[in-house]
Homo-oligomer: A and B are copies of this chain.
């Protein structure tokens, strides 16, 4: 490195050994926490406040001045006061001219105001360069250093240089800035911390709806029917037997719903002969929440496994098994080993175990840190190939469990088929269509379409 480059470095760095100064308007929780963290990271902090007396709560080393004085000391000012009080900045417009104003505010409700706080600020002080940032970070997390909940700081603003300055500070505090573009993104950034699992809403409501349906369906078949017909009280079935009927059904249906949109998309692409037409909106949305659908399905599968494994511990199951033994003994009869039934029972259980194992594997690879460390081909291999294998195993598990039961009239109560039969409809459709799609006569054109080929090209490039 020659001396020339050294000089350049000296120029680009900011005031070498002097600390950079930042200004914070507002001495509330967030302002103080921010100041605390910034001082720790080597910044010099000056508060702008109406009361310039130093309270014991102000972090050590920070100065407290009037708003005007404080603003003059630093090129960047954090506006850590609620939107309702932004008006008080109006008299300071001249001092704030050219300054970078960082809007860190949050609202209490989604879309509380038609205009985002940051845009409102930019409109109030047109001479300032407004940047939205830090609203997703909590005061408590800043101060205690337990930034578990989120290290990501969304940043947006119309001035590239101002944004860069803010992002440098974000990085200096050990956080990760994410540039979200112009100030238009402020509304979305302000809504972000108010969201409650938006991607999970559809999967969870869907599964709740299905749970209610299958609960009453099973209640009628397994509790009300025997009560009406045989005056037997099996109401305790609600706790485990019915729950263990609902869980596998939902796991299977939701898993099939993860793969259904992909199959639909393939059909649409084949029909249209191009991949350049947009899918219908519902299909796009469906495809984006496949991961969530799959994880909800995994949760039901996990519950199904637990409910199944406790079977031999249940008083009712023990009573029934013991009853069988006692009746054998009293009739002086010993049932021989039924080889076919042993095969059926074992293979049905084995299919379930393998299916659940792959399902857990899928779940683990969808953890953010795991999916970040595999490449795209590996991710698709796991989520597509292993995913379909899981679906096949789970469907087979249900089919073998049913065996030839759906032929017997006894499994229809009040003309209602066994609930698990209903659960097989969607998985079987998905698997059959997928099976058809892998035939070369369909797979070849589909692959070509996905590589950009068009049956009726609209314009030649």
A113 within 8 Å of B (CB atoms): no
Binary flags per residue of A353-381, CB closer than 8 Å to B gives 1, else 0: 11011001100001111111111111111
Contact present for B239 and A349 (CB under 8 Å): yes
Binary flags per residue of A300-341, CB closer than 8 Å to B gives 1, else 0: 001101111111111110110111111011101011011101
Contacts of A341 in B (CB 8 A): 315
A29 within 8 Å of B (CB atoms): yes
Q: List CB contacts (< 8 Å) of A8-65 with chain B.
A: 8-21, 27-29, 40-42, 49-51, 53, 55, 57
Smallest Cβ-Cβ distance to A348: which chain B residue:
B239
Alpha-carbon distance between A409 and B260 when the two chains are bound, in angstroms: 56
A407 within 8 Å of B (CB atoms): no
Contact present for B372 and A150 (CB under 8 Å): yes
Q: What distance in Å separates the Cβ of A127 from its nearest Cβ neighbour in chain B?
A: 13
Contact present for A9 and B14 (CB under 8 Å): yes
A195 within 8 Å of B (CB atoms): yes
Q: What distance in Å separates the Cβ of A288 from its nearest Cβ neighbour in chain B?
A: 7
- Binding-face segment, A141-149, A221-229, A425-433, A434-442: A141-149
- Binding-face segment, A157-165, A248-256, A413-421: A157-165
- Binding-face segment, A86-94, A173-181, A388-396: A173-181
A456 within 8 Å of B (CB atoms): no
Contacts of A323 in B (CB 8 A): 334
Alpha-carbon distance between A164 and B17 when the two chains are bound, in angstroms: 12
Q: What distance in Å separates the Cβ of A21 from its nearest Cβ neighbour in chain B?
A: 5
A219 within 8 Å of B (CB atoms): no
Contact present for B310 and A353 (CB under 8 Å): yes
Contacts of A171 in B (CB 8 A): 179
Contact present for A158 and B8 (CB under 8 Å): no
Contacts of A357 in B (CB 8 A): 299, 302-303, 306
Contact present for A181 and B315 (CB under 8 Å): no
Alpha-carbon distance between A138 and B375 when the two chains are bound, in angstroms: 10
A443 within 8 Å of B (CB atoms): no
A2 within 8 Å of B (CB atoms): yes
Smallest Cβ-Cβ distance to A51: which chain B residue:
B461
A282 within 8 Å of B (CB atoms): no
Contacts of A141 in B (CB 8 A): 376
Contact present for B12 and A12 (CB under 8 Å): yes
A422 within 8 Å of B (CB atoms): no
Contact present for B136 and A240 (CB under 8 Å): no
Q: What distance in Å separates the Cβ of A86 from its nearest Cβ neighbour in chain B?
A: 17
Alpha-carbon distance between A233 and B311 when the two chains are bound, in angstroms: 28
Residues of A within 8 A of B (CB): 1-2, 4-6, 8-21, 27-29, 40-42, 49-51, 53, 55, 57, 74-75, 136-138, 141, 144, 146, 148-152, 158-161, 163-165, 171-174, 178-182, 192-197, 233, 235-237, 239-241, 243, 276, 288, 291, 299, 302-303, 305-316, 318-319, 321-326, 328-330, 332, 334-335, 337-339, 341-343, 345-347, 349-350, 353-354, 356-357, 360-361, 366-381, 452, 458-461
Q: Pick 21 A–B contacts, CB within 8 A, sort by A.
A: A1-B14, A20-B160, A51-B461, A146-B288, A148-B368, A151-B372, A174-B178, A196-B381, A240-B346, A240-B350, A302-B357, A303-B353, A303-B357, A307-B350, A308-B310, A316-B337, A318-B321, A322-B335, A329-B330, A368-B370, A369-B370
Name 13 extra pairs, CB < 8 A, besides A1-B14, A27-B461, A303-B354: A1-B20, A1-B74, A13-B161, A13-B164, A16-B159, A17-B159, A20-B160, A55-B458, A149-B372, A236-B347, A309-B310, A321-B322, A369-B370
Interchain residue pairs A-B with the least CB separation, the first 7:
A369-B369, A13-B161, A239-B346, A315-B345, A312-B312, A368-B369, A149-B379
